[in-house]
């Protein structure tokens, strides 16, 4: 088949999609924006795609959100390559441009904030999300709340299919990757350990994770907190840790290469997400969360307000097995960390269920094979 993707080339997830289907012998065209806007440039790993067989990269320099020149260029590229399938990853902005191309069959895949929060920013954005969902031939969802959110935004239920867009190598990310050597290097061979792997940027709220530490230490002293991410907030967070008197309990790794993440995620007792969950359905699961699940590591996530209608344990998400804390509430986060660490039986139970869910709902190979069948079904 000829498959055309509209997606962010710098995304690890996009690379996985392109690489998988190119290796299966399909001809892949990837259309991507080199600029998000006038000020923010998206780094594109051009060499990565040039070294892939059966792959052609098309860069579009988009200057404003809805750029008429970019619309024309994308339509021209699509008309020239004549793909069998056009698949946009993210309803906005890529889905909008896919819908405006007029090409069919057209698939729009939501990634999270593109349907959870962006449509609430303005009536214009909500209009274009609705326009895209109406023009798409197929839209996927990955849990009940996402399905209801898509219907709320105007998607015809008949177009919806339960199928994820993210996935993880469940052999690479596995409980078997637990490393005694790494635990010794981190100083956690004889102590509890809690990991946060978010980038050190303001909107990821890693400061909430740091603020929770003094409250955990009131209950448990034999513990290390590991901050795996890197970013502009690093020095600010280290200073915060010093002010709180907890710097000695934190290991700042300042970035971990993705190929090394399996052993880190498998070697700790708890994985904590500090970012506040969206108040709108459609947030889905982050890749690192899914990777932690595949490693059998218990999860602690920020509660999504919209999930209260589905139950306090978020069971209707299908994939989630873990505890939740009140968004941005570091005291509640600390309370739940202590609850998990003091209950080894609960950690084991949640870890087993998470591993099982990752294999069932987040196994990348299985997910990709299902998508390939969908492509063949839609192909004219």
CB 188 within 8 A of CB 165: no
Count CB atoms within 10 A of the CB of residue 309: 10
* pLDDT of amino acid 313: 43
Angle, helices 344-361/330-342, rounded to nearest 10 degrees: 100
From the list 301, 297, 294, the residue with the least C-alpha distance to 198 is 301
Ramachandran sector of residue 314 (left: φ over 0; alpha: ψ -120 to 50; beta: rest)? left
* pLDDT of amino acid 316: 47
Can you tell me the distance from the alpha carbon of 202 to that of 141, in angstroms, rounded to the nearest whole number? Answer: 29
CB 154 within 8 A of CB 125: no
Residues in the chain: 380
Question: Can you say whether the dihedral through the CA atoms of 14, 20, 26, 27 is positive or negative?
Answer: positive
DSSP state of 102: T
- Specify burial of residue 163 (Cβ count, 10 A radius: 0-12, 13-18, 19+): middle
* pLDDT of amino acid 304: 66
Question: Confidence band (pLDDT; 50, 70, 90) for 317?
Answer: low
Count CB atoms within 10 A of the CB of residue 221: 10
Angle, helices 287-294/344-361, rounded to nearest 10 degrees: 110
User: Rounded mean pLDDT of 310-333?
Assistant: 74
Taking 90 as the threshold, does the pLDDT of residue 210 lie above it? yes
Please report, rounded to a whole number, the percentage of residues in the chain having pLDDT higher than 90: 68
Domains defined for the chain, CATH in brackets = 2-167+364-378 (3.40.50.2000), 175-361 (3.40.50.2000)
Q: Which of 181-195, 294-308, 326-340 has the lowest mean pLDDT?
A: 294-308
Taking 60 as the threshold, does the pLDDT of residue 279 lie above it? no
* pLDDT of amino acid 127: 95
In the block, which residue shows the tokens 């994820």? 164
* pLDDT of amino acid 217: 98
Q: Mean pLDDT score of the chain, rounded to an integer? A: 89
Q: What is the pLDDT of residues 58-101, one digit of tens each?
A: 999 887 778 899 999 999 999 999 999 999 999 999 999 999 99
Taking 80 as the threshold, does the pLDDT of residue 252 lie above it? yes
Q: Are strands 85-89 and 2-6 parallel, antiparallel or unpaired?
A: parallel
Q: What is the pLDDT of residues 140-181, one digit of tens each?
A: 987 777 888 999 999 999 999 988 888 889 999 999 999 999
pTM for the complete prediction? 0.81
What order do you get walking across the sheet with 27-33 strand by strand?
A: 55-60, 27-33, 2-6, 85-89, 106-109, 138-141, 160-162
């Amino acid at each position: 088949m000829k498959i055309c993707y509209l997606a962010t080339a710098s995304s690890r997830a996009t690379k996985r999609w392109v690489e998988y289907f190119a290796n299966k012998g399909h001809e892949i065209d990837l259309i991507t924006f080199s600029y998000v806007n006038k000020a923010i440039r998206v780094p594109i790993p051009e060499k990565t795609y040039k070294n892939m067989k059966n792959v052609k990269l098309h860069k579009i320099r988009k200057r404003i959100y809805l750029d008429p020149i970019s619309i024309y260029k994308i339509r021209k590229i699509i008309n020239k390559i004549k793909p069998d399938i056009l698949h946009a990853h993210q309803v906005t902005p890529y889905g909008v441009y896919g819908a405006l191309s007029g090409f069919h069959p057209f698939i729009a895949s939501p990634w999270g904030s593109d349907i959870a929060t962006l449509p609430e920013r303005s009536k214009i954005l909500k209009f274009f999300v609705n326009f895209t969902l109406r023009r798409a031939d197929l839209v996927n969802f990955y849990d009940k709340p996402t399905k209801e959110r898509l219907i709320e935004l105007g998607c015809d239920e008949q177009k919806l299919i339960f199928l994820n867009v993210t996935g993880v190598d469940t052999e690479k990310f596995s409980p078997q990757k637990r490393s005694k050597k790494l635990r010794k290097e981190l100083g956690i061979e004889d102590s509890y350990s809690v990991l946060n792997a978010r980038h050190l940027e303001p909107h990821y709220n890693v400061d909430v994770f740091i603020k929770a530490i003094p409250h955990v230490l009131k209950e448990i002293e034999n513990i290390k907190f590991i901050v795996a991410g890197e970013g502009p907030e690093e020095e600010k967070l280290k200073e915060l840790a010093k002010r709180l008197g907890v710097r000695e309990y934190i290991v700042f790794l300042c970035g971990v290469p993705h190929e090394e993440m399996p052993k880190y995620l498998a070697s700790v007792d708890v994985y904590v997400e500090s970012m506040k969950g969206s108040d709108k359905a459609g947030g889905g699961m982050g890749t690192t969360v899914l990777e932690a699940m595949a490693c059998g590591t218990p999860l602690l996530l920020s509660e999504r307000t919209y999930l209260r209608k589905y139950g306090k344990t978020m069971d209707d998400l299908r994939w989630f097995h873990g505890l939740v804390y009140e968004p941005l509430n570091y005291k509640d986060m600390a309370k739940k960390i202590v609850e998990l660490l003091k209950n080894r039986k609960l950690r084991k139970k949640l870890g087993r269920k998470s591993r099982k869910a990752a294999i069932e709902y987040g196994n990348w190979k299985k997910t990709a094979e299902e998508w390939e069948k969908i492509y063949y079904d839609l192909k004219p």
